Amino acid sequence: MTATSTVKGTTMTQTGEQKTKRMSFRQAINAAMAEAMREDEKVVLIGEDLRGGNGGTNPDPTVEAFGGVFGVTGGLWTEFGGDRVIDTPISESAILGAAAGAAVTGLRPVAELMFMDFFGVCYDEIYNQAAKFRYMFGGKATTPLTVRGIIGAGVGAAAQHSTSPYHLFTSTPGVKVVVPSNPADAKGLLLASIRDDDPVIFCEHKALYDVKGDVPVGSYVIPLGKANFTRRGTDVTIIAIGNPVNAANKVADKLKGEGISVEVLDPRTTSPLDEEAVLQSVADTGRVVIADESAARCGFGHDLAALIAQKGFHDLKAPIHLVTPPHSPVPFSHALEQLWIPGAERIEEAVRTVLKED
Amino acid sequence: MTLSTAPAAAQDLSTDQLLEAYRRMAKIRKFEQRLHLENQTGDIPGFIHLYAGEEATAVGVCMNLKDTDYIGSTHRGHGHCIAKGCDIKGMMYEIFGKQDGLCHGKGGSMHIADLSVGMLGANGIVGGAPPLATGAALTAKYLGNHGVSVAFSGDGGSNQGTVFEAMNMAVVLNLPVVFVFENNGFGEASGADYSVGSKDVAGRAAGFGLPAVKVDGTDFFAVYEAAKDAVALGRSGGGPSVIEAKNYRWFGHFEGDANLYRTKEQIEEIKRDHDPLKIFRSKVEGLIDMAELDKIEQEAEQEVDESVAEARAAAEPTPDQLTVDVYKNY
Ligand SMILES: Cc1ncc(C[n+]2csc(CCOP(=O)(O)OP(=O)(O)O)c2C)c(N)n1
């Protein structure tokens, strides 16, 4: 168990003695898929260049030429073969639609959308199909589908390869949405997502792929809907999800030196949302900063703020502060992109401000 | 209507046209070769996808277009931009993310656009261009200005639903759009013979009711002639058509790709046997003095050199630019 994942008021299934291994976010996600495929032969992966090297002039029929664009599926084709690690044409509607159709008829597919921005090409297969099956069909359908995709700004990937549209997914009833911030959570949450009997969208921030952490080996599940306190504190709460959690941790550690006690709460999943943990922390500190990369309008941060305003209003000692990107596409220029990201500097500034207000 | 399968004879083009075609191809080559090196310095943010090896396709098509005609491009867009007349410096500034880039540093390599020369944008979304080019053709038809538009896609992109929808709709509405499929054999690391079920990109056109032709995309004269017919068809109200141009990509899918799906020897062979610039030279022997072509290459190299030096030294966008151009007004 990692030093940072102290849990308050919530349950986790891992035990304190679970053996861990140091690995990257990328490797942790890979390990979760391997684990899921070993334990359930109905789990199949489907997407573009999960292996790479089919057809063409590939001189070595055993080579995995890509293993995913960021190498996240590397080794899985070699272990599980082409029947279970399925490379497709560039056809996202068919990928998600086929995954939804396969899920509702007996498989447990993990579809990869590569960059989550591409949901724009194909979201109908979730929005009007997979997400609605159970309800529309009167509870008769089960759609155990996981959609993986890359989110996040910070590497100069520009407007169409850098967004974090999990707020849009969160507003879709019938889908669950996961946004992990560290390797251990990524593994535990992905295994939970794959085992879940409803569609889950799993968002991987590209800036995290090389980040390392201690990850429990073997079967390790973190239930969806259970928040994590990555820092405990009493003066102010930063609620963050995905990569901004790491910026928030940095701010908390820095301010500790100044005698400011910062709590950092990572909901880990936006849907379901651990409302209890959010409201508990608000009650404890009374001051809230929300750091969210999704959107400046109608984003996940606004959803949290509405929750706190409705159910935690009387615990607040100061207005809620939101740290989000501006209401703009993600700029290409490195200088502008750094300003766009809701990073540590802006979070720190918000914390200092909220501490002065009442 | 059938489109030409026979290459144009070099004699059919004026000397000026021949020199211009070579100039554009040489600029693309030098631009991409230089970016291949510049990218290794780590000073270029994001992903770049190089067009070297495919020059004859972009130039063969765009030599038939006017500034008022539109092209829609792909993630591998530098060649299309140069062929359509985008400014080299403006492009280089953009790729380095500078304020004076063609898109003020907001777009980068995958989104270079210049509507003033009919360049509707490189596109980070595979299959993005065909519906947009169909829209540009709708405008041309509606305005009755005899404009045409061209949608570039790859073999990989040819499998996208948006492409099928655009082709069918262009037939139904009889729009002046040319769908150009650059078949370089790969989409990322997957062979076209794996991902195109029929193994025949152009062959699909018949099912939608479009005339189609397959040409050698490394031979400027073959592409030029097919595009001439396709563009004439569109301009005269004859509707959409398809060109499949077979060519080769010299570099990896993106800069940093280890090319594990082909061997070093295969890449060397491609560069040796399928070099659009060499092929062009062999076809204009006797018509054009080779020294002139050498000079064009030197000039292109110099222009690229200057653009890199200037782009490196150029100003970054200032913070106030962050929210400029989200809307015209808000
Ligand atoms: C909708 C969408 N899906 C996937 C991608 C990722 N991607 C970028 S380029 C590419 C391969 C494109 O292959 P092709 O169309 O043959 O063009 P080429 O790269 O060979 O020029 C893929 C899969 C994308 N950018 N957009």
CATH number for the domain that contains residue B285: 3.40.50.970
Which chain A residues are Cβ-neighbours of B261 within 8 angstroms?
A: 52-53, 56-58, 63, 65
Q: Per the domain annotation, does B324 fall within a domain?
A: no
- Res B5: pLDDT: 84
Of the candidate ranges A15-29, B51-65, B140-154, B289-303, the one whose mean pLDDT is the lowest: A15-29
A50: enclosing H helix or E strand? none
Look up A161 and say whether it is catalytic. yes
Q: How far apart are CA A153 and CA A155, in angstroms?
A: 6
Same domain, A76 and A117: yes
* Residue A296 is assigned to a structural domain of this protein: yes
Q: How far is the CA of B157 from the centre of ligand 1 (A)?
A: 6
CB–CB contact B108 A156 (8 Å): yes
**A202 & A295 share domain:** no
Q: Would you state the pLDDT for residue A17? A: 67
- Number of Cβ within 10 Å of residue A320's Cβ equals 23
The 8-class DSSP code of residue B309 comes to: H
Domain-ending residue, one of A149, A184, A216: A216
C-alpha torsion sign, points A94, A100, A102, A105: negative
Do residue A68 and residue A193 come from a single domain? yes
What is the model's pLDDT at position A148?
Answer: 99
Q: How far away, in angstroms, is B111 Cα from ligand 1 center?
A: 14
Extended beta strands in chain A, E state: 20-24, 43-47, 85-87, 108-115, 146-151, 176-178, 200-205, 212-216, 228-231, 236-240, 262-266, 269-271, 288-291, 321-323
Q: What is the pLDDT along chain A (358 residues), one digit of tens a residue?
A: 333 333 343 334 445 568 999 999 999 999 999 999 999 999 999 999 999 999 998 888 899 999 999 999 999 999 999 999 999 999 999 999 999 999 999 999 999 999 999 999 999 999 999 999 999 999 999 999 999 999 999 999 999 999 999 999 999 999 999 999 999 999 999 999 999 999 999 999 999 999 999 999 999 999 999 999 999 999 999 999 999 999 999 999 999 999 999 999 999 999 999 999 999 999 999 999 999 999 999 999 999 999 999 999 999 999 999 999 999 999 999 999 999 999 999 999 999 999 999 8
Residue of chain A whose Cα is closest to the Cα of B257: A66
Q: Is residue B258 part of a domain?
A: yes
Q: Do residues A32 and A170 both lie within one domain?
A: yes
B260 contacts A52? CB cut-off 8 A: yes
- CA–centroid distance, residue B126 to ligand 1 (Å): 5
SS (H, E, C) B27-56: HHHHHHHHHHHHHHHCCCCCCCCCCCCCHH
CA B191–ligand 1 middle distance (angstroms): 12
Do A40 and A160 fall into the same domain? yes
CATH, residue A65: 3.40.50.970
For ligand 1, what atom is nearest to the CA of residue B184?
Answer: 20
**Alpha carbon of residue A7 to chain centroid:** 19
Q: Which residues line ligand 1 (CB under 6 A)?
A: A 48, 90, 92, 114, 118, 121; B 74-76, 124-127, 153-157, 184, 186-188, 249, 253
Confidence grade of residue B134 (pLDDT, cut at 50, 70, 90): very high
Co-location of A275 and A199 in the same domain: no
C-alpha span between A184 and A214 (Å, rounded):
6
Number of domains in chain B: 1
Q: Which of B124, B262, B322 has its CB closest to that of A158?
A: B124
Look at residue A7 in the predicted model and tell me its pLDDT: 39
Structural domain includes residue B320: no
The answer to whether residue A57 sits within a structural domain is yes
Distance from the A197 Cα atom to the nearest Cα atom in chain B, whole angstroms:
29
Q: Which of B158, B195, B198 has the most A C-beta neighbours within 10 Å, making it the best mutation to test the interface with A? A: B195
Judge: B185–A56 Cβ closer than 8 Å, yes or no: yes
- Examine residue B226 and state whether it is found in any structural domain, yes or no: yes
Interface test with B, best of A54, A88, A90, A112 (most B CBs within 10 A): A90
Tell me if B276 is assigned to some domain. yes
Q: Tokens at residue B190, please?
A: 């997957």
A205 and A232 part of one domain: no
A-chain residues within 8 Å CB-CB of B157? 90
pLDDT > 60? residue B15: yes
Residues A243 and A287 grouped into a single domain: yes
Rounded Cα–Cα distance for residues A81 and B234 (Å): 47
Q: Which residues of chain B make contact with A328, given a CB cutoff of 8 A?
A: 322-323, 326
Name the residue range of residue A206's domain. Answer: 2-216
Question: Is A61 part of a structural domain of the chain?
Answer: yes
Q: Answer whether residue A51 is part of any domain.
A: yes
Residue-level pLDDT at A16? 56
Rounded to 5°, the CA angle B321-B322-B325 comes to: 70
Give the position, in ligand 1's atom list, of the atom nearest the Cα of B160. 1
Helix (H) or strand (E) holding A259: none
Quote the number of domains for chain A: 2
pTM of the model: 0.96
In a domain, A131, yes or no: yes
Which residue do the tokens 């909901």 mark? A267
pLDDT, chain B, mean: 97
Domain stops at, among A191, A216, A241: A216
Q: Is residue A348 part of a domain?
A: yes
Q: Are A17 and A123 contained in the same domain?
A: yes
Indicate if A163 and A38 belong to the same structural domain.
yes
Question: To the nearest whole percent, how much of chain B has pLDDT over 90?
Answer: 96
Give 3-state DSSP helix, strand, coil % of chain B, rounded to 5.
50, 10, 40
Tell me if ipTM is over 0.90: yes
Residue B327 lies in a domain: no
Protein residue whose Cα sits closest to atom 12 of ligand 1: B187
Distance, in Å, from the CA atom of A267 to the CA atom of B303, rounded to the nearest integer, reads 53
Among A192, A216, A240, identify where a domain stops.
A216
Look at chain B and count its residues: 330
Claim to verify: residue A157 and residue A70 sit in the same structural domain:
yes
Give residue B24's domain range: 10-312
Q: Are residues A157 and A179 in the same domain?
A: yes
Whether B316 and A66 lie within 8 Å, measured CB to CB:
no
CB contact under 8 A, B191 and A56: yes
Q: How many residues comprise chain A?
A: 358
For chain B, list the strands marked E by DSSP: 70-72, 149-154, 177-183, 186-187, 190-191, 212-216, 241-246
